Structure 1
Amino acid sequence: MKGYSVSWTKHKNEPFFAAHHTTRQHKCIQTSYQNHSPKLAAFTSKTTLPIILPAFVVLLLFVTSVTSVLSQPIANQTLKAGAELNKLTRIRAHLKKINKPSVKTIKSPDGDLIDCVLSHQQPAFDHPQLKGQKLLDPPERPKGYTNEETVVESFQLWADSGETCPEGTVPIRRTTKEDLLRASSIFRFGRKPRSVRRDSSSTGHEHAVVFVNGDQYYGAKASINVWTPVVTDPNEFSLSQIWVIAGSFGNDLNTIEAGWQVSPELYGDNYPRFFTYWTTDAYQATGCYNLLCSGFIQTNNKIAIGAAISPRSGYNNRQFDIGVMVWKDPKHGHWWLEFGSGLLVGYWPAFLFSHLRNHAGMIQFGGEIVNSRSRGYHTGTQMGSGHFAEEGFGKAAYFRNLQVIDWDNNLLPLSNIHQLADHSNCYDIMAATNNVWGTYFYYGGPGRNIRCP
């Protein structure tokens, strides 16, 4: 499929790339009296009634208490069934909200259903500030933008079916009941765990990143090597992305994020998938992955955000990467996203943000994993290729051609870069520069190992 691609380049030396029980008790007592003779019955009534009455009361109390105890599980089951029914009702309502009517549905080889939704009916236009608006025309690319690399054309896995979405529609990965059932709650579905990074470290999340700060930034661009890292726990993930950041690392954190991720909880499998994310309140109540809430406006009919990327890199084998660029349109101020070899995917309207309405104060590139320590020790979830940076090309994952965009819409190489690995015995990073890859770095690791217990 022409246009959105995964790059692959080579170089020889340099890297290019219980109610019935009570009734029966009563019946049994009555029958024992009826079977006696009248004489015996009279004798019994005169001599034993004072004894039988208290005994009967005790028995009745006993049966009542047993009935009460037996009824508790039934009541609990009834409450549980009611809660499950209520949950399923809320799930159906949420699915109806985010899965829009389609004019065509494409079955992906990995089991995904890709719905071709009319552009003006996509989730973004549920937002009150976007209702009735039309898609914007493509913005001007940054100055110094080139796309002259020799590439091997590639595709997202769903496009391998040979089907495409018609013009005037956007491809959207359908969300299923199973997707929602895997989430911790319907409210949190499609949102990152509430974990605000402070100087690139936070409990449960680990990073290996290169970053620049101390200036005003209007975008970033890089080519990101694609792998299939092992994620050992269903609620963990492994991702490689660009962060465009503004605000503090408190509750006012604004981010735009794009890259690839493996997330069994979100997608139900272990494929690397092209994804986006945004938040304006440090992952609390605003923003989401992909198109799982109103916000990001998609303009492209060839890219399905959240769909699997194919092909992927192999150890000591061919290497593939994806181009990702996020930049602020000087004319309207919206943040645009480009994927692959020059394909505009869509944009985040500026009004979604507070600090990012103006510019970013930090740009980051690199990997992130979740370490839940569910077994009492460090996770074995891999970052990148699952190999440390020093293994180099074909073995360790990389980012190459790192650039930022300035106030005048110029693409520039990075200067005054910082590199940081939260736990370098688990995941590390090595940055460098050359004439072929510009600013680049290798990063990642296996997680738990003899030096990372």
Structure 2
Amino acid sequence: MFLFIVAGESILINETRFKPLEELQKLIRVRAHLKKINKPSVKTIESPDGDLIDCVVSHLQPAFDHPKLRGQRPLEPPSLRPKGHISSDETIERLQLWAETNEFCPNGTIPIRRTTEKDILRANSLKRFGKKIRGVRHYSKNDGHEHAVAFVNGNRYYGAKATMNVWTPVVTEPYEFSLSQLWVISGSFGNDLNTIEAGWQVSPELYGDSYPRFFTYWTTDAYKTTGCYNLLCSGFVQTNNKIAIGAAISPRSSYRGKQFDIDVMIWKDPKHGHWWLQFGSKALIGYWPSFLFNHLQKHASMIQFGGEIVNSRPKGHHTNTQMGSGHFAHEGYGKAAYFRNLQVVDWENSLIPLANLHLLADHPNCYGIKAGKSNVWGNYIYYGGPGRNARCR
């Protein structure tokens, strides 16, 4: 055994498992990264699931490490939200698990889920920590990502909104995930793809458990070097002191039981051009500054709604990782996962129904999708599936 002192902390290294110098260098890099993303807090709240939620002064959050934001403070929320918001008595405001403590961060601070050494060490590498390898449907490349999505394209879009129910799908392999989200997309599916994404996901690698968690993502180069999940890099500016991005959602839907929804809306503020995020019917979470993007500085060219999983095929066949509820779309309400009240934001900053909705399930025997329209739900989809089964191998 070897004992090293790094930044005033002792590190005990087992020489039978690692070369001492290599492990020391790795831990130094990990701790330096933790120091960069875990900002000093004025208060810490312990969630029932074990998460530590740090209350960080708003202008000291990771976003302001960006060269174009240094020395600035978060903007005030836009005065005009998209017109035509569809309200429904069925929409139930959801609390995150950490909020069950009845504690919130003080005004002037934001809640940030604390990243731990274990979180980073679960990743394939420090370079890939907090990043997707790829995360939008590409029409010719198969790298293990599978989708069941509805999409619109061929127009100019300035945002999107949907209500989705939340489940706890089984994820069978440590480097797989299952998510349900909306995508705001522009650019080509090559090196210059711009996306803004938000929804819920189960990712044992990223979070170390199987809870569905509210998440965000962005990229400007097709997931190669830019962007990240949540607040794990500079970019997204959070303004809300009651919602923690990356925190567990509670309660969740159950098969043949009660269904629990979340609302997600992303839209471009006509005045300043930034892309704002709303969670629930009223809570503004924050914004992606327009300068982060090239194509999305103007508008989006595609909007997607639906599910995505990673199938790593560790034993040469499809895994049992579920999408949505783990049940196929044709099973319907109370059994399958859904998105309802699908809308886009037009150039007049109005929420409007979808036109020319397209459906795509790239592995329909594993995960399916179907669409409909009603007076109550507007445009809606059911989607998902169990993964490996007699027809999905």
Q: TM-score, normalised by structure 1?
A: 0.82
Which residue in the other structure is 1:434 paired with? 374
Identity of aligned residues (%): 74
Cα pair 1:195 1:202 within 8 Å, conserved: no
CA distance in 1, matches of 2:81, 2:298: 18
Higher radius of gyration, 1 or 2: 1
Query: Which amino acid letter does the alignment assign opposite residue 287 of structure 2?
Result: Y
**Which of 117, 128, 132 is 2:71 aligned to?**
132
**Which of 337, 341, 346 is 1:397 aligned to?**
337
The alignment partner of 1:180 has SS state of helix
Query: Which amino acid letter does the alignment assign opposite residue 405 of structure 1?
Result: V
**Which of 286, 304, 316 is 1:364 aligned to?**
304
Count of residues paired in the alignment = 378
Offset at 1:147?
Answer: 3.6
The alignment partner of 1:178 has SS state of helix
**Which of 237, 244, 251 is 1:304 aligned to?**
244
Please say if 1:116 is aligned against 2:36: no
Cα pair 1:430 1:442 within 8 Å, conserved: yes
Query: Which amino acid letter does the alignment assign opposite residue 306 of structure 1?
Result: G
CA RMSD after TM alignment? 1.4
Offset at 1:410?
Answer: 1.0
**CA distance 1:99–1:326, change in 2 (3 Å):** same
CA distance in 2, matches of 1:125, 1:395: 43
Query: Which amino acid letter does the alignment assign opposite residue 253 of structure 2?
Result: S
Which residue in the other structure is 2:34 paired with? 95
CA distance in 2, matches of 1:351, 1:326: 16
The alignment partner of 1:135 has SS state of coil
CA distance in 2, matches of 1:141, 1:149: 20
- Correspondences of 1:142-153 after superposition (within 5 Å): 142-153=82-93
**CA distance 1:315–1:289, change in 2 (3 Å):** same
**Which of 322, 336, 348 is 1:382 aligned to?**
322
- Correspondences of 1:16-165 after superposition (within 5 Å): 80-139=19-78, 140-165=80-105
Query: Which amino acid letter does the alignment assign opposite residue 434 of structure 1?
Result: S
Query: Which amino acid letter does the alignment assign opposite residue 191 of structure 2?
Result: N
**Which of 345, 365, 385 is 2:285 aligned to?**
345
Which residue in the other structure is 2:188 paired with? 248
CA distance in 1, matches of 2:294, 2:313: 35
**CA distance 1:196–1:274, change in 2 (3 Å):** closer
Q: Which moved more, 1:121-130 or 1:148-157?
A: 148-157
Query: Which amino acid letter does the alignment assign opposite residue 255 of structure 2?
Result: Y
**Which of 204, 207, 221 is 2:161 aligned to?**
221
Q: Which moved more, 1:87-96 or 1:197-206?
A: 197-206
**CA distance 1:436–1:267, change in 2 (3 Å):** same
Offset at 1:152?
Answer: 3.7
- Please list every run of 5 or more consecutive structure 1 residues that lacks an aligned counterpart in the other structure: 1-75
Q: Which moved more, 1:151-160 or 1:229-238?
A: 151-160
Which residue in the other structure is 1:286 paired with? 226
More helix by share: 1
What are the Cα deviations for residues 43-77 of structure 1, in whole angstroms up to 9, with x where unaligned? xxxxxxxxxxxxxxxxxxxxxxxxxxxxxxxxx97
Offset at 1:151?
Answer: 4.2
What are the Cα deviations for residues 175-205 of structure 1, in whole angstroms up to 9, with x where unaligned? 0000000011111100002466423863200
Which residue in the other structure is 1:66 paired with? none
**Which of 255, 260, 267 is 1:327 aligned to?**
267
Cα pair 1:100 1:122 within 8 Å, conserved: yes
Q: TM-score, normalised by structure 2?
A: 0.94
**CA distance 1:97–1:118, change in 2 (3 Å):** same
- Please list every run of 5 or more consecutive structure 2 residues that lacks an aligned counterpart in the other structure: 1-14
The alignment partner of 2:32 has SS state of helix
Cα pair 1:142 1:410 within 8 Å, conserved: yes
CA distance in 2, matches of 1:328, 1:370: 30
Offset at 1:81?
Answer: 1.2
Q: Which moved more, 1:193-202 or 1:167-176?
A: 193-202
